[in-house]
Structure formats: structure tokens, C-alpha cells
Amino acid sequence: MRLSRYFLPVLKETPSEAQIVSHRYMLRAGMIKQAQAGIYSWLPLGYKVLRNIENIVHEEQQRAGHIPLLMPTLQSAELWRESGRYDDYGEEMLRIKDRHGRDMLYGPTNEELITDIFRSHVGSYKDLPLTLYHIQWKFRDEVRPRFGVMRGREFLMKDGYNFDLTKEDALHAYNRHLVSYLRSYERMGLQAIPMRADGGPIGGDYTHEFLVLAETGESEVFYDSEITDLKFGDRAIDYDSVAECQAVLEEFTSRYARTDETHDAALFDQIPEARRRSARGIEVGQIFYFGTKYSEPMGAMVADAEGNRVPVHMGSHGIGVSRLLGAIIEASHDDKGIIWPEGVTPFHCGIVNLKVGDSEADAACEALYGALTALGLEPLYDDTEERAGAKFASMDLIGLPWRITVGPRGLKNGVVELTSRRTGESEELPPEAAVARIAQIYGKAVAAA
């Protein structure tokens, strides 16, 4: 993509309504524009990151054996009356009537709708276990939406639902989701700590929230510092293995880590003082097991091996896809702008032409652009006539992990400059070597010349 043809409305000044880093940088980098309080248009740069996060979530969910579908944003109130939640959910639910006077709602979550799908099509234990999920827009009418996408009213969320014959099977699904979430967050460059949480309006006795530590987090959290040393890494995992998934759960939840809602001061005091930590955290996901809370009142039953009709055991599992953009920025930025992890960056690198119109500089940039594109990478080529300082400031603000700078002086010596956004370190390399380095970083093979 050439910057001269791209829509990137970068702002030099910080809008007055932006109170936290992620909101400021998302507005300044031209990623979002507020449509109304808590509701945003996703501009091209922000939309690219949103889709990258969504793709990671899809890949890891399907790796775990979960099946995607898509449910509507509007739901019938009758389903929610069946479960007993329609009157209990509170004013966060947007309730509307259609032209025929039927009660509808803009879904804040989908337990009722997915249970209705299940009961309509599944009747035997032989069809279990089953986990269905989707990534869809949700709406919760926050009293005071703030902090940009961190606490908006409309948001994109992955919500998944498992259906199992027994509690033991459902708890394996719970563990399977925990593993898949750990993998997802690490691929995004985040350390999201699973913490014992409260079930809230979803319900359930088994629930963990995943929180990213950040000064602007909405939750106070308490944890054993040993947990921040844990990494899932690239280890192989058999999602069908109860023992393997249980072992990961125990590894990542055996140390103390709780939100303020479930904090137990007596248990916390048993941790060696040097390892006790309190901080702020941003919730980016939550998993629940709630048994037959929805299946019993809504008649989601299957025949077991003896022919008895029994309610299925269920759980729900959410990831805040749009909220993750804010969380990543809160965890990865400096005073110049965003620093995108390679896993979610909107463009793999930036190419900065220091002298547009110079035949050698133009040709070198075109060659770099073509070589990177041929490898399946997406560079953002700044071919505008802005001064060099403004080009560097924009690249720093939008946070691409790598920048290749091309100028007549370097080309006379046969080199371009490759710069890491995270460290600020630069290295002079022949153009072909710079391409090979970027390809290596992103795991792309470069054919020998």
C-alpha cells in the first residue's frame, strides 16, 4: 500500500476527550472516529488490526476443535424470558420493539440464542461434545462510556459455547478454552494472566478472567509475581487429552491471582511478601462453566447411553476482540506512539523514501516494495513529499514494528537503513539483506537469487 493513495487521517494534536494512552493514539493514528458516545467507526488502519486479531482468534479456536458460525445482533426477548434473564439483566441491555410490537433486544451475549440452536438440532449424546462460537458485534448500554474502545457501548466479541454430556466433559472444555486463550494472547504479544473471577450476570461457579497488567486497567488485581514468569510458548498440545489440558490449567492457575471482586486477603498473605503484587488490569477475556443453568429452563436435552433425557452441561467463553486493540496499545507504546507486536501489526514494515522524485531513491523503494509484496508481506510505502521529520513521526505514531529508510546518501554506499520501532536501533544493510531480514522475522522463505 502506498501512503499517497491510502486513507490515514493522522492528527497532530490530541483530542480533548481522550483520557488514556490507547484512546489518544487510536484517534491520532487515524484508526477510529467516534460516531457517538461509546460507538466508533473503524478506519482502514484500525480495521486492519481488528481483522488481524480476529484471524488469530479464529485460528486458535479452530485449532482447539471449535466450530465457527454467525448469529444475529438482534434477538427475540422470548428466548431471554425462557432463561429468566430478560428482566434481570438490567439497563445495559438495549430493548426495542419491531414494527409488529414484538419485544427485541440488541444482544449483549448469546447464551439463549445458541441454546435454542442446539435444542433444535441435537438430541443424542453421540453428537457431543460440541463447541460452537462466533465473532459478532455486541451492545451494552454503558452508563458512562469512556476510554475509547476500552469501555464502549458497541464492541466486537468472540463468544463460544460448549455443550457436553457431563460436568467432567464440560470442565475439559473449560480447560481447552483456557489453553486456546493463552495461545491467542501470546500470539498477539500479550501476557494475559488468568485470574479467579466473579460470574456476574452470566453465572457459574467456575470462571477465570484474563487480564493484561496496565496502569489504566479498570480492575485492581492481586497476584503472585511468579505467575508473570510463565509462558505457554510454542509447545504442542493435544486438545483431546484431558490430562494435558488439566496440566496447563494447573500450571497457570495454581499461583494466587485474583481480581478485587474475589480477592482473599488471608490467602494472599500466605504468599512470601517479596512475591506479593497488586496492580491494575484490563480484562480481555473470560471463561465460564455454568452447568445446566440454561439447558434446564430452555429444554436443551439429549438422550444418554441408557436412553434417558438429560440436560446438557454448558459453558461460555468470551474474548474482547475490539477491546484487545486498546489493551495491546496500553501494554506496548512509548511517548512517540504505538509499538505493534509483529503478530497484529497492520503492515509488516514501513518504507520511507527520503527524496521522492530522485530516480535512484524511487527505483530502490519500488524494488523493496515489490520484493516484500512478492513474499506475501504488506509494506506501507511512504511515497509522499512530506519532510523527513514528519514521515518519521507518522511512522513512529502508527507503530509499525520495522522501518526501511531509503535515501540518496545511503544508496551511494549500496545500503538502506533498517530500524526497530521497539528498540530504536538501526542497521545499514544492502536492500536485498533488509528484505531477507524482514522475511525472516515474519517466517517467510526467500528464494535464493
pLDDT digits (tens, 9 = 90+) for 404-445: 999 999 999 999 999 999 999 999 999 999 999 999 999 976
Q: Indicate the pTM of the whole model.
A: 0.94
* pLDDT number for residue 200: 58
Q: Return the DSSP state at 340.
A: -
Element (H, E) at 154: strand 154-164
* Alpha carbon 29 to its chain's center: 19
Residue 404 φ then ψ, to 5°: -110, 120
Q: Please report which residue ranges of 126-215 form alpha helices under DSSP H.
A: 167-187
What is the end-to-end Cα distance of the chain in Å, rounded? 25
Which residues fall within 8 angstroms of residue 180, CB to CB, at 6 or more apart? 60, 61, 63, 64, 66, 239
Measure the CA–CA gap between 54 and 344, rounded to whole angstroms. 10
Other Cβ atoms closer than 10 A to 1: 16
Cα-only R_g, the chain: 24
Measure the CA–CA gap between 1 and 381, rounded to whole angstroms. 6
- Point out the residues of the chain with pLDDT beneath 50: 202-203, 448-449
Residue owning grid cell 462460537: 133
* pLDDT number for residue 449: 39
Element (H, E) at 119: helix 111-121
Sign of CA pseudo-dihedral 67, 73, 78, 81: positive
Answer whether 236's CB lies under 8 Å from 270's CB: no
Residue 408 φ then ψ, to 5°: -60, -40
**C-alpha grid cell, residue 212:** 493484561
Query: Dihedral through CA 191, CA 196, CA 199, CA 203, nearest 10?
Result: 100
∠ Cα 149 12 347 (to 5°):
60
Which residues fall within 8 angstroms of residue 444, CB to CB, at 6 or more apart? 375, 376, 377
